[in-house]
Amino acid sequence: MDAGGYPTEADPDFKEANISNIVAFTIYPMLSLFKHETTRKLHLSQEKEIASPDSSTSGMEEFVVMDYISHFQMKYVLILEAKKVSLGEARKQCFLSLKDMRDCNGSGTVYGFVTMGTTWRMISFDGKFKMRERIELLFDTMVEDEERWMADYSILVECLNVALSNGVKDPVEVV
């Protein structure tokens, strides 16, 4: 991962748009490789509304990955909620969206991530919410210390692979 010079919260002009850029640059290469290897019709959408079937709740998500099963049928695969303020704020919105996403899909386990750009958390929902421990994705010397990143931080790649592989018989190993 080549992310030297990425913007951080310490920068005076740091904005939520910076977080969205970090998220897009992080997930797009993994999503693209996964799509190619599985030939699934995954689509990444930014600012997508997920509404429950009864329209009781809804919300705009920063990033949503959808799988187009047929021309008339779509399945939500993954959501990512990015916030500048706090992971707690992102988590609240992600929980609501995961519930709506699972309702729209009919059941099963759904996956989401919350992030402030450098810190990520994976959440799954199968009727109960489960949250993985924090993943620190970026660090100051990561360009010089690729080995450390691969050993300690690449868990995000594995977590994204689990989320994308949900419902696939032979998930591809993404490295």
Instruction: Give residue 172's pLDDT.
Output: 36
Residue 134 carries which DSSP code?
P
CA dist 169 and 154 (Å) reads 23
* Encoded tokens for 157: 């790649």
> Tokens standing for 171?
């998930």
Per the listing, tokens 């909620």 go with 81
What tens-digit pLDDT sequence spans the chain (175 residues)? 455 456 666 666 767 677 777 888 788 888 888 888 887 888 888 877 676 677 665 566 677 888 877 667 778 788 888 776 677 778 888 888 888 888 888 888 899 888 887 788 889 999 999 998 888 777 777 777 778 877 777 788 888 888 888 754 333 333 3
| The two structure tokens encoding residue 129 | 């919410």
pTM: 0.75
Longest pairwise C-alpha distance within the chain: 51
Class of domain 19-167: alpha beta
Residues 92 and 9: their CA atoms lie apart, in Å, by: 21
- Bridge partners of residue 131, in order along the sequence: 123
Q: How many CB atoms lie within 10 A of CB 169?
A: 6
> Quick one: pLDDT at residue 9?
64
Supply the angle between the helices 155-165 and 16-38 in degrees, to the nearest 10.
60
